[in-house]
C-alpha cells in the first residue's frame, strides 16, 4: 500500500512515494486536455512478487489480480465529470495500514 513505510523496505517504499508524486504532477499537466490520472494502491496481492509463488495456501485470502483489474475498470469508467485520484485497497486479512508477515 502506497505511502506507508516498512522495515527493510526503503527502496521499495521510495518507489511508491515517487509514483504518487509523478502521478499527481502528471494529473495537473494533462488536466486541461480532459485526461484523468489516478493511482491504484493495492495491499497484498496473490502474485509472483518477490520470487514468491502464486496460489499458496497462505495467500488464499489475499487480493486477486482480478480485484486490481476491477479497480482499474472502475476508475477508467467513471463519469467524465468525476475524478478518482486514488484507490487504496487491501485484503481484509491484512492489518491496515500494512503488516507483512
Distance CA 96, CA 94 (A): 6
Q: Which is the catalytic residue, given 12, 17, 74, 96?
A: 12
Known active-site residue 12: yes
**Residue 10 near residue 97, CB atoms below 8 Å:** no
Q: Where are the beta strands (DSSP E) in 1-101?
A: 39-42, 86-89
Q: Which residues are catalytic?
A: 12
Amino acid at each position: 500500500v502506497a505511502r506507508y513505510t516498512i522495515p527493510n523496505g526503503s527502496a521499495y517504499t521510495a518507489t511508491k512515494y515517487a509514483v504518487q508524486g509523478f502521478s499527481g504532477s502528471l494529473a495537473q499537466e494533462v488536466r486541461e486536455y480532459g485526461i484523468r490520472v489516478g493511482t491504484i494502491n493495492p495491499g497484498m496481492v496473490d502474485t509472483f512478487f518477490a520470487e514468491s509463488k502464486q496460489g499458496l495456501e497462505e495467500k488464499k485470502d489475499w487480493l486477486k489480480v482480478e480485484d486490481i483489474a476491477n479497480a482499474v475498470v472502475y476508475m477508467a469508467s467513471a463519469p467524465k465529470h468525476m475524478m478518482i485520484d486514488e484507490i487504496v485497497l487491501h485484503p481484509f486479512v491484512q492489518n491496515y495500514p500494512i503488516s507483512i508477515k
